[in-house]
Amino acid sequence: MEKQSSIYNTQFWLLCISNFLFSASFQMMIPELPDYLKGMGGKEYIGYIIALFTLTAGAARPFSGKLTDTVGRVPIMAIGSIVCFLCSGIYPFVHTVFGFLLLRFFHGFSTGTKPTATSAYVADIIPEDRRGEAQGMLGIFTATGMSLGPTIGSYLVGWTSISFMFFTSSAFALFSILILLNMKETLPKEQKQPFSLKLLKIGWADVFEPRVFPAFLVMLTVSYSSGVVLTLIPDQTKLVGLTNKGIFFTIYTISSLVVRLFFAKSSDKYGRIPILMISSAIMIVSMLMCAFADSVWLFVLASILFGFSWGFNTPTLMAWTVDLSHEDYRGRAIATTYIALEAGIGIGALVSGYLYKGVIENMAISYYFAGFLSFVSLVYLWVISKESVKLSSLGN
């Protein structure tokens, strides 16, 4: 498909708005879910709130990658929004721990499908030398939704009820579907196939794209920290004396927006690896600050740095994934990197929830380990950067 000369076209803006609504939809309930589950008697299952969600998101990636490369980008984006719409509307009618966890399990399919197709769609319509910028711009809308979502969710619960918040979440997902109805398909006609059950047959080649292993490993190690944050921050917010459990998420997302606004072209200009090294280093500092955060100012500073790290990380990793991939298997490559994201978040949530168990003194060790994994990412990036320089010098 011929690339557009500008990223600022109708298709791109529709995609951005849809992403804003989608991300706000599933993110607005995150700060309230731990207390909601506790009210059902499921205090010991707090870690499963994120773990189950990311488990199914990761499991859906190979299917979404394959279908994105065969059926089309737009249908797979729509499926993700539809799942989010249905699941969000069901929460108010579930009143048991098992039912809640089962719903979280199915809800994860939404983020396992839409982002894969979205990233492939962006790669289709954006020139190669502006991929980092485009992913950053798309990320601004996604991050804005993720920023406003938690604050809106907590406000709605305080103003009305948690059921009203769930229905609002469902409405956001519905609007994100309606916007997709006006989008043009970008998958080349020669690649398109009608949907059939045989397309759901998945082999190892559909699960993992070896070309993008470097991006996969970096995403896996740094995303562990997100699972820890999503699990522990709601309770830690109350410990430092703040009442709105979405404030950390709002602050870090705003700081990530600042990075995307002012440094969107950084990885296009300076290279993917140097920018990822910077973001990994910032993540290490953020996790250490979270471990020691016993005051509002340190808590806020930790959230700002966490946002800075992800502001660099996400668009750079997705642009790097596209760089490393073969264009005929772009959906599969993107799905591979997203599997790393979901696996990292899920493992981080599960392990931190297991270690925490409502005991405040157990929080720090989860943050220390998250910081260590970000250090592993930093060392790996440093090693492959040296290898790249060595190979380049040999070539010359």
Give 280-311 pLDDT, tens digit per residue: 999 999 999 999 998 999 999 999 999 999 88
- Cβ-contact 29, 169 below 8 angstroms: yes
Instruction: Locate 23 and state its tokens.
Output: 């991300």
Distance CA 189, CA 335 (A): 21
- Lowest pLDDT segment from 62-66, 170-174, 287-291, 302-306: 62-66
CATH 1.20.1260.10 fits 10-185+205-395, yes or no: no
Distance CA 196, CA 285 (A): 48
Distance CA 276, CA 378 (A): 8
**Coil, strand or helix at 213:** helix
Locus of tokens 């005051």 = 295
Which residue from 282, 267, 269, 271 is spatially nearest to 315, judged by alpha carbons?
Answer: 267
Neighbours of 54 (CB within 10 A): 27
Helix (H), strand (E) at residue 335: helix 330-356
Tell me the pLDDT tens digit for each residue of 20-51: 999 999 889 988 898 889 889 887 888 788 78
Q: Does the pLDDT value for residue 246 go beyond 80? A: no
% of the chain beyond a pLDDT of 70: 95
DSSP conformation class of 129: G
pTM of the complete model beyond 0.85: no
- Cβ-contact 233, 105 below 8 angstroms: no
Cα dihedral 197, 202, 207, 210 in deg (nearest 10): -120
Q: Does the pLDDT value for residue 180 go beyond 90? A: no
| Mean pLDDT, all residues of the chain | 86
Instruction: Locate 110 and state its tokens.
Output: 């939404």
Tell me the pLDDT tens digit for each residue of 192-231: 888 877 888 877 777 788 899 999 999 999 999 999 998 8
Neighbours of 249 (CB within 10 A): 30
Neighbours of 382 (CB within 10 A): 13
pLDDT of residue 388: 64
Distance CA 263, CA 168 (A): 33
Cα dihedral 217, 219, 222, 227 in deg (nearest 10): -120
Neighbours of 194 (CB within 10 A): 7
Tell me the pLDDT tens digit for each residue of 214-225: 999 999 999 999
202 sits in the region (left: phi over 0; alpha: psi -120 to 50; else beta) called beta
Work out the average pLDDT over 71-91. Answer: 92
Q: Does the pLDDT value for residue 7 go beyond 70? A: no
Instruction: Locate 153 and state its tokens.
Output: 């969710």
